[in-house]
Amino acid sequence: MLQDPDTDLYGPAPKDTLLRTHYIIPDEYKLQHEDVLSIQISSLTPKEYDFFSQGLPQNQINIAGSRQGGGALYGYLIDANGEVEFPVVGRVKLGGLTVYEAEEKIRAIAEEYLEEPVVRVRLLNFRYTVIGEVTGKATTINTYNNRMSMMEAIGLVKGLTEMADMSNVKLVRQDGDIAKVYYVNLLDENFIRSPLYYVHPNDVIIVPPLKQKPFRNHFGQNLALILSSLSLLAVVLNLIAIFNK
């Protein structure tokens, strides 16, 4: 993965030397309808006056079994209008914002009611799927890392097989009601600068096989049969030659 023709393909690269730098262009995920957020607000305000910490509002939902290792999570569901409802504060528009923008918006609102609030927002329904030529089992992964690279995502399924075509990986990305299809080259080091470098929630990563895989599979399976047939044919021809003398 991430090869450079000048150093990776033609001889060893110099050691203990900075070879290149790449500026990453993050394509931050924008929150959408049906996303579920963990929103934690703490402050110096006494608990009896902190309405954010008093019970669960009506729009919080239980995500049973979504956490790796089991258990249940509670989160705020973004409704069809892109809003989340808080006690006292009312409805707050979070759809269309990044996780960090949502964090800043909630902090600004909380400062009107609480003393020195600290806000932490995490996306609970961050999941993606990897299928095709993967070493582990093709599966859907749940993660709480809101900024995960394509390499990290593939690493969680134990990497790719030796027959994976890393130069032609298909990425299906959901953008609202639209499914967008991209092809990426994981062999090119410049992929680090691609806006597709980071995985988004609900991404489907499809790793195709190399073109020679069918030939290799069929040839490998039939090689023993072919050799046995050739050996048998050689024996038969030898016997025929002996009887004809």
- Domains of the chain, residue spans: 1-24+126-211, 36-123
pLDDT on residue 64: 46
pLDDT on residue 71: 47
Note the CATH architecture for domain 1-24+126-211: Roll (3.10)
The span from the CA of 245 to the CA of 241, in Å, is 7
Q: Which CATH class is domain 36-123?
A: alpha beta
The span from the CA of 171 to the CA of 129, in Å, is 10
Q: What is the CA radius of gyration of the chain?
A: 28
Q: Do domains 1-24+126-211 and 36-123 have the same CATH topology?
A: no
For the chain (245 residues), the mean pLDDT of every run of 10, in chain order, is 64 72 80 90 73 56 46 76 87 93 94 87 91 86 86 89 92 89 93 91 93 58 66 74 70
Strands 178-184 and 169-175: antiparallel
Q: What is the 3-state secondary structure (H, E, C) of the chain?
A: CCECCCCCCCCCCCCCCCCCCCCCCCCCCCCCCCCEEEEEEECCCCHHHCHHHCCCCCCEEEEECCCCCCCEEEEEECCCCCEEEECCCEEEECCCCCHHHHHHHHHHHHCCCCCCCEEEEEECCCEEEEEECECCCCEEEECCCCCCEHHHHHHCCCCECCCECCCCEEEEEEECCEEEEEEECCCEHHHHHCCCCECCCCCEEEECECCCHHHHHHHHHHHHHHHHHHHHHHHHHHHHHHHCC
| 28 token code pair | 């931050």
pLDDT on residue 214: 55
What pTM, to 2 d.p., does this model score? 0.71
